[in-house]
């Protein structure tokens, strides 16, 4: 993947993702990016893979289509999904994965972990560790809280106390920016730094291997403590279960 092509694609979907048909194309593109990132460490052909919080299973569909023999399982608790749902979808939360120990070669969790309350997040990481085979890899993508992009619908004001962030958002966007909740937790946003996320991953028994700069592709930034907290919009935490 050429870096200039990636940047052009990133800019295109930043401003045009909600045009008819574009959202699915964007999902397919970034699924390919994630597959390429993980396959630097583990070829996925013929492997069993779990996608935690995968919605209707779009990533699983791309994975099985592009990697011969790959067996992709989707985990999604929501019951209001639209469109075609992946045939192997588990209706459960990440904190209680209904599979036996050491079932999967790889576990992915893309843009989900920051929406889990701290206690649930801890249990979810332990569950990912449990269902991984020894030597298997986890690939967890999240956004360091102090980056301007990390606040989802409240960005870039999310670094401020919630009442002020809510006020500024609503002043700037009017009715379209109306915030219903009274806290970041109400908006399903739970701050997590790079350092804190790595600590949780390692506390769950996984060994941190590398950090991937998902958007800018400047992976060396993830090795610089302060820089990675401020200037990396999204990080892919590659970690491995000891053994094998």
pLDDT digits (tens, 9 = 90+) for 188-231: 999 999 999 999 999 999 999 999 999 999 999 999 999 999 99
CB of 158 within 8 A of CB of 165? yes
Looking at residues 63-71, what average pLDDT do you find? 93
Looking at residues 18-42, what average pLDDT do you find? 86
Same domain, 95 and 198: yes
Does the reported pTM lie above 0.85?
yes
Provide the domain count of the chain.
2
Same domain, 162 and 215: no
CB of 58 within 8 A of CB of 30? no
Same domain, 142 and 182: no
Q: Nearest Cα to 177, choosing from 210, 149, 153, 204? A: 153
Domain of 231, in residue numbers: 3-148+191-240
- Taking phi over 0 as left and psi of -120 to 50 as alpha, with beta for the rest, 205 belongs to left
Structural tokens at position 102: 């050491």
Looking at residues 2-29, what average pLDDT do you find? 84
Q: Which CATH number characterizes residue 47's domain? A: 3.40.50.150
Structural tokens at position 44: 């996925």
CA angle 153, 163, 191 (to 5 degrees): 55
Q: What is the chain's mean pLDDT, rounded?
A: 92
Same domain, 133 and 225: yes
**Extended beta strands in 10-164, E state:** 48-52, 71-75, 89-90, 104-110, 132-142
Peptide bond into 169 cis (omega under 30): no
């Amino acid at each position: 993947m050429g870096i200039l092509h990636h940047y052009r694609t990133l800019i295109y979907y930043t401003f045009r993702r909600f045009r008819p048909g574009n959202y699915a194309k964007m999902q397919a593109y970034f699924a390919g990016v994630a597959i390429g990132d993980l396959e630097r460490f583990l070829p996925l052909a013929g492997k069993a893979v779990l996608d935690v919080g995968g919605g209707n299973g779009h990533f699983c569909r791309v994975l099985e289509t592009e990697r011969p023999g790959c067996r992709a399982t989707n985990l999604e608790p929501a019951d209001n999904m639209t469109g075609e749902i992946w045939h192997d979808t588990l209706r459960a939360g990440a904190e209680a994965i209904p599979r036996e120990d050491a079932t999967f070669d790889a576990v992915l969790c893309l843009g989900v972990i920051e929406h889990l309350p701290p206690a649930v997040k801890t249990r979810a990481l332990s569950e990912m560790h449990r269902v991984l085979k020894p030597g298997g890899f986890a690939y967890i993508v999240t956004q360091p809280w102090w980056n301007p992009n990390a606040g989802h619908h409240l960005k870039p004001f999310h670094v401020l106390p919630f009442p002020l962030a809510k006020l500024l958002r609503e002043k700037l966007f009017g009715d379209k920016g109306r915030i219903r909740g009274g806290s970041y937790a109400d908006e399903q946003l739970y701050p997590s730094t790079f350092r804190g996320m790595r600590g949780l991953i390692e506390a769950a028994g996984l060994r941190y291997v590398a950090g991937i700069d998902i958007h800018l592709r400047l992976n060396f930034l993830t090795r610089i403590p302060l820089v990675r907290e401020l200037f990396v919009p999204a990080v892919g935490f590659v970690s491995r279960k000891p053994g094998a």
